[in-house]
Chain A
Amino acid sequence: MTTQTLTAHYDPAVQGFTGLATMTMIRAFESRMPLLSEEGLIRGSTHPSVGMEAVATGVSLALGPRDTIASNHRGHAHCLARGSDPGRTMAEILGRVDGYGQGKGGSMHIGVKELGIIGTNGIVGAGIGLATGAALAAKQQGSDAVAVVYFGDGASNQGVLGEAFNLCAIWNLAVVFVCENNHYAQSASIEEMVAQPDLSQRGTAYGVKSVNVNGMHLDAVYEAAAEAVARGRAGDGPTLIVADTYRYLGHMAGDTEIYRSADEVQEWKDKDPIGYLARALEQQGVLTAGQFAQLEADAARVVAEAEAFARNSPYPEEFRAGTDVYEETV
């Protein structure tokens, strides 16, 4: 796998700087998850994506307002990078009425219609079919909107992926398949679960243009995504982007992590996507140490405000248990 080099498409002062701000905010947001979970504020399970910020951010920077994303169980970053309000996102994770789903969905079921987020999803791989449908809708409607689906290395083993690849390839559907290869599916390592570790070959086998990128590098992700989106818009069909990345925290809050070593985690922390980008931007002369400190302070403030908003939001009233099952015609 080769790391893509900077080209004209990526402007450090634009995507680089904005991306760093977004990634810093996502880091601050996601770092709160285990603590909120310990406090008993998050029910069920929540899956933070600390370490993986460059993927959601790089892809989102390449999208336009009418594009769609379908996400998975590890979806907070996908939503935030797409522009979801941190307060309302956090409120949903805490099960409050001001959450995007009025507290009905929680961490794994966040949808935001106005941002084209057709849902984070508790069913591994389910977003693959949904994004295919969003692209089909765009085609039927004569729109050049593109659909993105985020899924993991684990989800790449779901049968729906092969079916979607073929359908998108024969119909030239504008889907960008973003596989976040963080090397684990819960406790199952990619080495044990995949015989062909170059996941991009799966797309190639179906006639889907496929690329590998360094998922710790925002510039590389952005470049690949911008190209894939352009292809989709031009009617040239789907692209698979396999982003090599890593999650620093457990699969979900409370994970014992007996399946991996602390050394391995540290190795990846040494390749931190935020550290990498900040250093690059400083070298490129578009970021000073002072500005970076300011971005971090801003991120901390935004997340603290989001948390205060979410904590102050009431729990939904009981009557809401029965609403929204069907369209309500009064």
Chain B
Amino acid sequence: MGIATATTSAAAVPATSAARPAKPMALWRALNTALHDILEDTPEAFLLGEDITTWGTGGGIYGVTKKLADDFGRGRVMDTPISEEVLISAAVGAAMQGCRPILEIMYSDFTFLGFDGIINQAAKARYMFGGQFDVPFVLRTNGGSGIGKAGQHSQSLETLFAHIPGLEVVVPATAGDAYGLLRTAVASNNPTIFLEHKNLYNDRGPVSFEPIPFGVARIARHGTDLTIVATQQMLKRSLEAAEVLQEQHDLSAEVIDPRTLFPFDMQTVITSVKKTRHLVVAHEAVRDYGWGAEFVAQVVEEAWNDLDAPPRRLGGLRTPIPYSEVLENAVIPSANQIVATALATRRDRQHV
């Protein structure tokens, strides 16, 4: 049995606010709208986090909770002390009692203060108690590098979370996905780690106000010569790389965004690899022991005969994230490196 079979049904998401025409918006605004709609539709949902009502221009470090306290009151949108450990555990406890807490942790790096709550409690409560408890807890936070936040505010922890049985891990890359996946995260009865990327908050894209089910990858660009699997900032760079590959090397890359790392959609990747016969996986999390290794291993196990070359992985260097710009750029794969890796994969072909 593959590990990637679980998908969360989107059917549980209330439809009241869904019937709206699609509209372009910034990713932070899409999240803000999703939270607004969730608070409207879901009486059991509430938000909590540090500085989520009066910071910046009125809601959180990147604006995601802007003005929600004005609309829904401080009974449902709560500023908290700087107490990640108790907040995470308390959110888990509240979820086990029938609430749908949505906790914002200012930077994903700070989740480490509450890892007991996430890993020993949230992820295991259903299992250890024989399936009696739902844990509809959403931990929203941001990861990633690119704006000089240095070693303790820039890590990409998606691999760490994806490794833990019991957690769902969501990594939206576009405004539309951010909206749709957050709706599903809150409707889900599993603990969900919802990882935003701090360098994508201002990216604009169409939002259709529909929930998006977990475990369904998105083909961000269709192609025939090579498959690139990438998330978030690396997805963006992979799409740039795909243009270069097309224009300068006459290679057509298919780019796939898994959207959720658990559950993850191997089928879409395998179908693509069967067509293109070449695979590159790119992520910002440290490459060694990263989620790319999991994808590659499963493709090799399930589609070995469909591959013309060994799959290749790109990821962060095995270093903390440095502060200085030159160094920060040096540790995260660039679009150029994705191009070079794609070309190397094509050159490695065994049976041309």
Give a binary string over B77-97; 1 marks a CB under 8 Å from any A CB, 0 the rest: 001111111100000000000
Tell me whether B39 is interfacial, beta carbon within 8 Å. no
With known contacts A256-B56, A318-B327, A104–B82 Cβ distance under 8 A: no
Give a binary string over B46-82; 1 marks a CB under 8 Å from any A CB, 0 the rest: 0000110111111000000000000000000001111
Residues of B with C-beta under 8 A to A192 = 79
With known contacts A44-B149, A158-B83, A258-B54, A317–B326 Cβ distance under 8 A: yes
Closest residue to A103 on the B side, CB-wise?
B324
**Chain A's nearest CB lies how many Å from the CB of B155?**
11
How far apart are the CA atoms of A302 and B12 in the complex, in Å? 64
**Chain B's nearest CB lies how many Å from the CB of A46?**
10
With known contacts A109-B150, A186-B55, A258-B57, A103–B322 Cβ distance under 8 A: yes
Chain-B contact segment, one of A25-33, A52-60, A62-70, A121-129? A121-129
- Can you list 9 pairs linking A and B with CB atoms under 8 Å apart? A43-B150, A109-B150, A109-B151, A154-B81, A159-B86, A321-B322, A321-B331, A325-B318, A325-B319
**Of A106, A188, A259, A321, which is within 8 A of B150 by CB?**
A106
Residues of B with C-beta under 8 A to A216 = none
**Of A106, A256, A318, which is within 8 A of B330 by CB?**
A318
Tell me whether A108 is interfacial, beta carbon within 8 Å. yes
Residues of A with C-beta under 8 A to B320 = 104, 325
Using a Cβ–Cβ cut-off of 8 Å, how many residues does chain B contribute to the interface with A?
A: 38
Residues of B with C-beta under 8 A to A121 = 152
With known contacts A158-B83, A258-B58, A122–B153 Cβ distance under 8 A: yes
User: Other than the known A104-B322, A122-B151, what 15 A-B pairs have Cβ atoms closer than 8 Å?
Assistant: A43-B323, A44-B147, A96-B324, A104-B327, A106-B323, A123-B109, A159-B83, A185-B50, A185-B81, A188-B54, A193-B81, A193-B82, A259-B54, A321-B317, A321-B331
Which secondary structure dominates where chain B touches chain A?
A: loop
With known contacts A106-B150, A122-B152, A188-B50, A154–B319 Cβ distance under 8 A: no
**Of A43, A256, A320, which is within 8 A of B57 by CB?**
A256
**Of A101, A103, A157, A259, which is within 8 A of B81 by CB?**
A157
How far apart are the CA atoms of A304 and B134 in the complex, in Å? 60
* A residues 204-251 touching B (CB-CB < 8 Å): none
* A residues 150-170 touching B (CB-CB < 8 Å): 154-155, 157-159
* Contact (Cβ within 8 A) B317 A95: no
* Contact (Cβ within 8 A) A321 B319: yes
Residues of A with C-beta under 8 A to B326 = 315-318, 321
* A residues 278-316 touching B (CB-CB < 8 Å): 315-316
Tell me whether A3 is interfacial, beta carbon within 8 Å. no
* Contact (Cβ within 8 A) B55 A108: no
* Contact (Cβ within 8 A) A105 B150: yes
* Contact (Cβ within 8 A) B152 A322: no
